[in-house]
Structure 1
Amino acid sequence: MADDDDEGGFGGLYEDGHWVWDESSGALLFVSDLPPKAVEAVQIPTKAPTGAIEFRDDVDLIEQIRYRRRYQRKLKPGQPDIITLQDIKDIAIYTAPVSILSPMLINMLHLPTTERFLRALILCTAYYLQVAEEMAHRILALETKVRTPDCEILEQEFRENLSDLRVLVAKEYCIMLIGGSDTKKFHHMGPAKKRRSLSDKDARLIETLIRMSVQIVWLALGRKSFNQIELETNRIFKSEIFNAVEHTLKTGYIAQMSTEERSVLLGHCVRHDKKLNTRSPLMNEVFCHREIDYRLMGLGVVKCPQMTTRLQYLWLAVAGKEEYLLKSMVVLGIIGMPRSSFDTMLRPLPQATTEGKSKASVGSRSGYTSQSVASSPSMKKSTLTTQRLYPDIVLPRKSEKEIYFPPSFPDEPEAIRPVSETQRRRWQTRLMKLLYPGGVK
């Protein structure tokens, strides 16, 4: 056998390494002379909690100045100075506890699919709170009035609107679950779905995403009705059986609803199966046996022909440009409103508010004012007296004409709105500094 240093032997030199003979294994091994590549993935030192998570909402003036200088979205030339979903996400990430933040969560929040998901959730939750307030007033009015056939017609319209809005949320949520489109690399079985299932990692990612979504919706709706937002969001994603927030607060708000309120707010697609066969209300809406406009399932992803006024409204709310929301009378919380009417942390300035009681709060008959909820720390956010920041949502009515069916299923994709890559990198850099104050080793 030739010596290892002989060019003709097993130790022949190459540009990036050399071969050596391993006597223990009796095989040739290639030893690379190149330095090891840096690993970009960052591991969280401690596991993220999935229980009660509190965000900071008492940011002092010094931190606000630091946030405005380092992390706030900078306007580009010619860009309108309005509140965008990115602004609300920035506030939520900045005030979130470090224990729930991860590089994967930040990357997932900066995806086009997630942005459509959050905008649909904001619209659905805002309309739910609005209808809940209206139904509370109607139930109180029944003490002195009599129900008429017109009541059924109006409540049926509320029920169908809520169902359609839940479908908008469900279609984006389904994309995340199956790892479709730009969410492939976040699937628990890998982009090709051939790896071993990382169920614990996936559960923690979804839990933190839902908690972050609750905070984003609460900020977008003007910091009001936190408990109602949290309860309803967890219900539609986890069902009544697995609603951890309700199990913790023990409000019993669904049991305290009247029959009419339950029929409108929960819809008729709710199924009460055994625990092992339970689907979330979002999945029930997708597979529900009711008349659903098929174009809702591809809104914002696939170009749909001959869109009605109602579909155009929903498309603009979910996937349209934020500067067109106010011009088109599309209400999406404070998104699209002038940035100058709010402070650094998106709290309304005194001149930005108008007189009037908010219609996004829930009446006493809806079961949210029980003593167990009012005494909890999170309920303090809901009991604060707020004024109306934006008008009520008025959805265009469904067209009485038959749904247009094209000769072939549309396959032309919509133009995907880009997400701010600059903000994503800023939050990743900040997270590195928080997780590793002495630098990444």
Structure 2
Amino acid sequence: MADDDDDEGFGGAYEDGHWIWDESSEQLVFVSDLPPAPVEAIQIPTKAPTGTVEFRDDVDLIEQIRFRRRYQRKLKPGQAEIITVQDVKDIALFTAPVNIMSPVLINMLHLPTTERFIRALILYCAYYLQIADEMTRRILELETKVRTPDCEILENEYRDNLADLRLLVAKEYSTMLIGGSDTRKFHHMGPQKKRRSLSDKDARLFETLLRMCVQIVWLALGRKSFNQIELEMNRMFKSEIFNSVEHTLKTGYISKMAKEERDVLLGHCVRHDKKLNTQSPLMNEVFCHRYIDYRLMGLGVIKFPQMTPRLQYMYQAVAGDEENLANMGVVLGIIGMPRAAFDTMLRPLPTAGETQKSKASVSSAVITGSQSSKSSSMRKSTTTPHQLYPDIILPKPASKETYFPQSFPDQPERIRPCSETQRRRWQTRLQRLLHPQTAGR
């Protein structure tokens, strides 16, 4: 005998629905009498915020005490009390808006490849701003002076220096694009590169990383020339066509440059293709038809014997120990300078300009108003009262290579690890900001 629940046959009623016979599939189908549950629509941003992102730069005293107590890098016994890239990253992460922060971004910033990438950016932007001021002065002097063949020789040297420094940035950026080395797990198609491409997620990570790098470079260069740094970095990574910052600010700075300025600052590897075929200036530098020292492509990753003074300098700036920057004659913005000369937020104290004397032949200082005739020559390692560090003077490339290895070097260079302690601190802070209700548990 059938149970009470089966008295109604196929159309028997249930508490929240009934069964019916589906002719097409020839099987029983349960139909619910309840209204469909509302589905909460979650808006996932497919594009990251760009130039509208504002970092805090007015941190009050209470916040500074909290930062110093909880998040500032603690010195280990025997460590030199100097400013490191990690210190600058910590300030940028502390003052960043929550809407651009993510665990992936924090992990990405604490990779050796990313740290070399940031140091190369600091070096390039410092030299770019320095040469931009020098070229502005030279163009103004053309009103009363005549160009000579020596002018072109000197400007070609500036142009080649900028191209080589862009190449240092491009080699680390290329590693990120292909998911090589320690960036493999951040690739948009997965560590094995076999998943479906997450283009929106990749675009958001790229935009936030670029904006974070702009802030880090600006802090490392003494909080000077923010717009110029942001414009140049967006031009390098996106080309003139897709430079969103320029489209917003509408400065027209490239069109206002004189021909000599454009040739030096942009280089001769700029290609003006159709939009679909446009490559970023960084990629153009990699595939440019000019003489390139092949060792630049592996600097800081592969150990090269008998490096020239020029390569040794670039290696120290990009991958060398920060404690040795001053001793090696390399100044990378405020990186490597005494920590006591700056406050908690890495602003120079009034005596910083007096106590910091240059022992280097190179520096990354930029004076925004260095158009006066009293500005120091780039050939001299001198500082003005407004500079924290002297000018950059890159060693000249060797006129003739005397050493040729029998095979391409394959011995890896010693990789400087990033601070795992700091990475965990910022991950914990982000979770507190995203989930304040569980912060006290």
The TM-score, its normalising length taken from structure 1, stands at 0.83
Can you list the C-alpha shifts for 1:242-266, whole angstroms capped at 9, x where unaligned? Answer: 0000000000000000000000000
Please say if residues 367 and 386 of structure 2, whose CA atoms lie closer than 8 Å, have aligned partners that are also in contact: no
Structure 2 equivalent of residue 56 of structure 1 = 56
User: What's the offset of the Cα at 1:49?
Assistant: 2.7
Structure 2 equivalent of residue 39 of structure 1 = none
Whether 1:361 and 2:373 are equivalent positions in the alignment is no
DSSP-derived class of the 1:184 partner: helix
Can you list the C-alpha shifts for 1:343-401, whole angstroms capped at 9, x where unaligned? Answer: 0000000011259xx74426789xxxxxxxxxxxxxxxxxxxx9210110110001011
Correspondence list, 1:18-167, <5 A: 48-167=48-167
DSSP-derived class of the 2:117 partner: helix
Structure 1 equivalent of residue 397 of structure 2 = 398
How far apart, in 2, do the equivalents of 1:205 and 1:363 lie? 36
User: What's the offset of the Cα at 1:221?
Assistant: 0.1
Correspondence list, 1:365-376, <5 A: none
Paired letter, 2:335:
I
How far apart, in 2, do the equivalents of 1:316 and 1:51 lie? 32
Provide structure 2 residue ranges, at least 5 long, that are not aligned to the other structure. 1-41, 357-364, 373-384
Please say if residues 44 and 435 of structure 1, whose CA atoms lie closer than 8 Å, have aligned partners that are also in contact: no
Whether 1:411 and 2:418 are equivalent positions in the alignment is no
Please say if residues 230 and 245 of structure 1, whose CA atoms lie closer than 8 Å, have aligned partners that are also in contact: yes
User: What's the offset of the Cα at 1:329?
Assistant: 1.3
DSSP-derived class of the 1:350 partner: coil
Whether 1:224 and 2:231 are equivalent positions in the alignment is no
How far apart, in 2, do the equivalents of 1:312 and 1:361 lie? 29
How far apart, in 2, do the equivalents of 1:141 and 1:403 lie? 40
DSSP-derived class of the 2:151 partner: helix
User: What's the offset of the Cα at 1:81?
Assistant: 0.2
How far apart, in 2, do the equivalents of 1:409 and 1:415 lie? 18
Correspondence list, 1:320-399, <5 A: 320-354=320-354, 359-361=366-368, 387-399=386-398
Q: CA RMSD in A?
A: 2.1
How far apart, in 1, do the equivalents of 2:51 and 2:136 lie? 31
DSSP-derived class of the 2:351 partner: helix
Can you list the C-alpha shifts for 1:127-154, whole angstroms capped at 9, x where unaligned? Answer: 0000000000000000000000110110
Please say if residues 46 and 99 of structure 1, whose CA atoms lie closer than 8 Å, have aligned partners that are also in contact: no
Please say if residues 130 and 361 of structure 1, whose CA atoms lie closer than 8 Å, have aligned partners that are also in contact: no
Structure 2 equivalent of residue 439 of structure 1 = 438
Deviates more, 1:406-415 or 1:257-266: 406-415
Q: Runs ≥4 in structure 1, deviation > 4 angstroms?
A: 43-48, 362-365
Structure 2 equivalent of residue 257 of structure 1 = 257
How far apart, in 1, do the equivalents of 2:341 and 2:68 lie? 16
How far apart, in 1, do the equivalents of 2:402 and 2:295 lie? 9
How far apart, in 2, do the equivalents of 1:403 and 1:116 lie? 28
Whether 1:243 and 2:250 are equivalent positions in the alignment is no
Whether 1:421 and 2:420 are equivalent positions in the alignment is yes
How far apart, in 2, do the equivalents of 1:403 and 1:232 lie? 36
DSSP-derived class of the 1:353 partner: helix
How far apart, in 1, do the equivalents of 2:334 and 2:94 lie? 19
Structure 1 equivalent of residue 203 of structure 2 = 203
Please say if residues 113 and 172 of structure 1, whose CA atoms lie closer than 8 Å, have aligned partners that are also in contact: yes
The TM-score, its normalising length taken from structure 2, stands at 0.83
Please say if residues 126 and 366 of structure 2, whose CA atoms lie closer than 8 Å, have aligned partners that are also in contact: no
Provide structure 1 residue ranges, at least 5 long, that are not aligned to the other structure. 1-42, 366-385
Can you list the C-alpha shifts for 1:331-354, whole angstroms capped at 9, x where unaligned? Answer: 200000000000000000001125
DSSP-derived class of the 1:387 partner: coil
User: What's the offset of the Cα at 1:328?
Assistant: 1.3
How far apart, in 2, do the equivalents of 1:271 and 1:360 lie? 30
User: What's the offset of the Cα at 1:403?
Assistant: 6.3
Percent identity for Structure 1 against Structure 2? 75
User: What's the offset of the Cα at 1:165?
Assistant: 0.1
How far apart, in 2, do the equivalents of 1:327 and 1:266 lie? 32
Please say if residues 235 and 281 of structure 2, whose CA atoms lie closer than 8 Å, have aligned partners that are also in contact: yes
Question: Residues 130 and 44 of structure 1: is their aligned pair in 2 closer, same or farther, counting only changes over 3 Å?
Answer: farther
Structure 2 equivalent of residue 275 of structure 1 = 275
Aligned residues, how many?
Answer: 379
Structure 1 equivalent of residue 294 of structure 2 = 294
Question: Residues 363 and 248 of structure 1: is their aligned pair in 2 closer, same or farther, counting only changes over 3 Å?
Answer: farther
